[in-house]
Amino acid sequence: MSLLEIRDLRVTYGSGAAAVPAVRGVDLRLEAGSKLGVAGESGCGKSTLALALLRLLPQTARLEGEILLDGEDVLTMKWGRLRAVRWAGASIVFQGAMHSLNAVRRIGDQIAEPLLVHRRATPAEARKRVGALLEQVGLPASRAAGYPHELSGGQRQRVMIAMALACEPRLIVADEPTTALDVMIQAQILRLIERLVAEESLGLMMISHDLAVLADTCDRLAVMYAGRIVEEGPAGEVYRAAAHPYGRALSSAFPRIGDPASRRAPRGLPGDPPDPAALPDGCAFHPRCPVAVAECAEDDQELRVAGAGRRAACLHVGRESG
């Protein structure tokens, strides 16, 4: 049984004529101890997906499908069970984590909060655990007495990770954990995440727009566009030789240094990521696709097999590989 299994998840904000489909049928699977990367840009639904896992979306969002966490469907859980699962079963490192810390509370208190809520720990136990968590993420335990503004961006991110680990969850979802961080700090944080996942045998779902970072850290990679998964497969393969044209574009957006082909030749896609409220007909990617044909504007594309353990939602896939 997989640690996390998402079946045909659909999330729609609002209703009636003003309904905005943020996630339009996503199937994903994550095993314990493995790392899944979800790549995509603004408006693709990746943050909505992350929040949906713990039912953290606003009331106006309607969810359909199944999210099985260790076999239990999060979407049909009773409130009490859901609260128990939140943070103790799965936790999230939010996007913009550096701004998610409460500026007027001490760091130790903020990390201890889930401990006090879930474990009913005594303050002394909580303090000890907080110290251990800080050391685990590479900060001195004395930092617990300080405030967020005394820390740098990278240090705050470590605090967020410590918070996510507090109740020993089985799954961690990291939403853009290293965006806005310097290259070196990003490397430190990614290393830390890898080490923690290996030590504790956690499942990790990492969301980012940087395909290179995901390919380096994760085992499998899924590319999202306009609320759907358009490609999925082993991380290295998807990064180096994506089958879907969007995957290829995303991969070439961050050039490999030393590759003469990208020297003075920045590659991007025309247009902008689509507005979920106004998706094009047929394949959502076709207006920007360099290899679109007439049929693309009419038929929406399903995920097809594109190799061993790989799927891609493009009509060229079936034809090329045959």
Interface of this chain with another protein, residues 24 to 83, rule: CB under 8 A = 41-42
Of 249, 253, 321, the C-alpha closest to 291 is: 249
Nearer to another protein, 13 or 246 (CB): 246
Q: How many helices (H) and strands (E) does the chain have?
A: 10, 12
User: What is the phi/psi pair of residue 122, to 5°?
Assistant: -80, 160
285 token code pair? 């990617």
DSSP state letters, 4-16 = EEEEEEEEEES-G
As measured in angstroms, the least distance from the Cβ of 236 to another protein is 11
Say how far apart CA 201 and CA 227 lie, in whole Å: 29
Nearer to another protein, 16 or 270 (CB): 270
**Residues sharing a CB contact under 8 Å with residue 271, sequence separation 6 or more, in sequence order:** 287, 288
As measured in angstroms, the least distance from the Cβ of 271 to another protein is 9
As measured in angstroms, the least distance from the Cβ of 154 to another protein is 7
Say how far apart CA 305 and CA 321 lie, in whole Å: 10
Say how far apart CA 87 and CA 299 lie, in whole Å: 41
Check binding of 213 to another protein (CB under 8 A). yes
Interface of this chain with another protein, residues 127 to 156, rule: CB under 8 A = 152-155
Q: Which stretch binds another protein (CB under 8 A): 13-21, 125-133, 197-205, 244-252?
A: 244-252
Q: Which stretch binds another protein (CB under 8 A): 15-23, 55-63, 263-271, 303-311?
A: 263-271
Work out which of 4, 121, 211, 222 binds another protein, going by CB under 8 A: 211
> Could you tell me the strand order of the sheet in which 203-208 lies?
90-93, 171-175, 203-208, 35-39, 220-225, 228-234, 310-312, 304-307
Work out which of 17, 124, 183, 294 binds another protein, going by CB under 8 A: 183
Check binding of 99 to another protein (CB under 8 A). no
As measured in angstroms, the least distance from the Cβ of 79 to another protein is 33
Check binding of 247 to another protein (CB under 8 A). no
Residues of this chain that bind another protein (CB under 8 A): 41-42, 152-155, 182-188, 191, 209-213, 215-216, 246, 249-250, 252-258, 262-270, 272-273, 288
